[in-house]
Amino acid sequence: MQLPPQYPPSLFSDVPTFPLAFLDDAQIRAWRTVKRLPKDSSFAFDMVLRLHHLGLATSSDWYTDVNQGSLSNLYFEAMYHAVRLQHEEIWNFSMRSGVQAQEISLMFRIWAAGLPLYIWGTIRHVRTRLGLMMFPIDVEPVLTRIKMALEAAGGHHCWPRGKKLEPVLATLVYGLESCDFASPWRPWAMNTLRRAVELLKLKTVEDFQKTLGFFPSTEEYRSVAAELWGELIYSSAVGTPDLRISPV
């Protein structure tokens, strides 16, 4: 996924448009997300809007009313633009030098790297909800890229601060939700999430859920947030395993 997409996705033609109420809801949610991003992040609106479209289209409120061809187009267009955004790193074009610019660049790099986790998650959630088979997806390349980016920054003291850490928090939740309990990545992801929670000074599950609520989500992500908070608070600290990192 570090290479640019070579061809635009094949899409269904002549599919119905989404209802106005659906589009309005997604746009409101997208603006709430973009407001949590640094200034001059308007370039991210299109991607954020696609993510919210997917979250709504696969929700129990809308799924039965959504044309499956339209949903398929949403999925493939979102993944195409996610891979393209990750490759182009468009946020660097308007970036100035300095520590804050480095934090913003790192934030967007981690956020962009984790977008496929959310896109895969929306489809997995709705298929699981319907009792349909879902083939496993190897998320290790994505988690490897996120881990390498965080470690290359020079430790948590060099991580983004304040609201700039919130997209990283959401990305870590997407990653944790994609890992089963036997995954060797889960201890690292949980410890990293714990550090992000501490830096953001989130004291309660309500604070945690409120912060995640600014970002694209599904019913399953909202449900797992409370479970993750309980795991953060009540589980004993787990040492980060020495994962073997290979270039991706």
Sign of CA dihedral 216, 101, 197, 79: positive
- Please check whether residue 2 lies inside any domain of the structure: no
- Please check whether residue 47 lies inside any domain of the structure: yes
- Residue 226's domain spans which residues? 20-234
- Please check whether residue 101 lies inside any domain of the structure: yes
Residue 51, pLDDT above cutoff 70: yes
pLDDT band with cut points at 50, 70 and 90 for residue 134: confident
Give the pLDDT confidence of 4-14 residue by residue, as tens digits. 666 677 788 88
Centre a 10 Å sphere on the Cβ of residue 78 and count the other Cβ atoms it contains.
23
How many domains are there within the chain? 1
Give the pLDDT confidence of 149-177 residue by residue, as tens digits. 998 877 788 898 999 999 999 999 999 99
Residue 244, pLDDT above cutoff 60: no
- Please check whether residue 11 lies inside any domain of the structure: no
- Please check whether residue 38 lies inside any domain of the structure: yes
Tell me the average pLDDT across 113-130.
Answer: 92
Structure confidence at residue 222 (pLDDT) = 93
Q: Which residue has the higher pLDDT, 2 or 26?
A: 26
Q: How many residues does the chain have?
A: 248
- Please check whether residue 247 lies inside any domain of the structure: no
- Please check whether residue 9 lies inside any domain of the structure: no
Tell me the average pLDDT across 46-59.
Answer: 96
pTM of the prediction? 0.88
Angle between helices 99-129 and 166-178 (to 10 degrees): 30
- Please check whether residue 194 lies inside any domain of the structure: yes
Structure confidence at residue 62 (pLDDT) = 94
Residue 211, pLDDT above cutoff 90: yes
Structure confidence at residue 45 (pLDDT) = 96
**Three-state SS across 3-36?**
CCCCCCCCCCCCCCCCCHHHHHHHHHHHHHHHCC
